[in-house]
Structure 1
Amino acid sequence: MNHWAEYVGYLASAFIVGSFLSKKIKAIRTINLLGCICFVIYGLFNGLLWPVIIPNALLALVQIYQLIKND
């Protein structure tokens, strides 16, 4: 495992947890989007971890859609 990718995984986890600390929906979606992107990167650079990549890529698309729709 790449050491830097492991840190990206920890960063992704921090973003996901941090997204639940906000009360504003736009902040929740934005922070969660950053976490999803980090998890996709983590999955790509750790041997194509599809169970990590697929749901986080889909969630990232949902977050992007909702952020654009609600602006």
Structure 2
Amino acid sequence: MEFLGISCVEWIGYAAMATVLISFLMKSVNKLRIVNSFGCLLFVFYGIMLVPLSKPIIITNTAILCINVYYLFKK
């Protein structure tokens, strides 16, 4: 399925990219980690949906997501 000539998989990649970029505009580190975690989760879905599967995208963003979750719940 496509929208404006762009596949659904690419839209998820663009959404992930935008979310991660927006996360760096946050002044609060906790807000940054929350928004960045959502972006990382989108990137994991994006990596899974790519054919063939993109292990580097999945591994990197899963690791970043785990680090964010660790520091969010550490307190």
Matched letter for residue 55 of structure 1: T
**Residue segments in structure 1 that go unaligned for 5+ positions in a row:** none
Root-mean-square deviation (CA, aligned residues, Å) is 1.2
1:28 aligns with 2:32: yes
Look at both structures and tell me which one has the larger radius of gyration over its CA atoms.
Answer: 2
TM-score by length of 1: 0.91
Report the CA distance between 1:10 and its aligned residue. Answer: 0.4
CA deviation string 1:15-58 (max 9, x = no partner): 11001101001110001001100000000010210111100001
**Greater relative contact order, per chain length (Cα 8 Å cut-off, separation 6+):** 1
Give the percent of matched residue pairs that are identical in Structure 1 and Structure 2: 36
**More helix as a share of residues:** 1
Q: How many residues were matched structurally?
A: 69
1:10 aligns with 2:8: no
**Residue segments in structure 2 that go unaligned for 5+ positions in a row:** none
**More strand as a share of residues:** 2
- Match of residue 69 from structure 1: 74
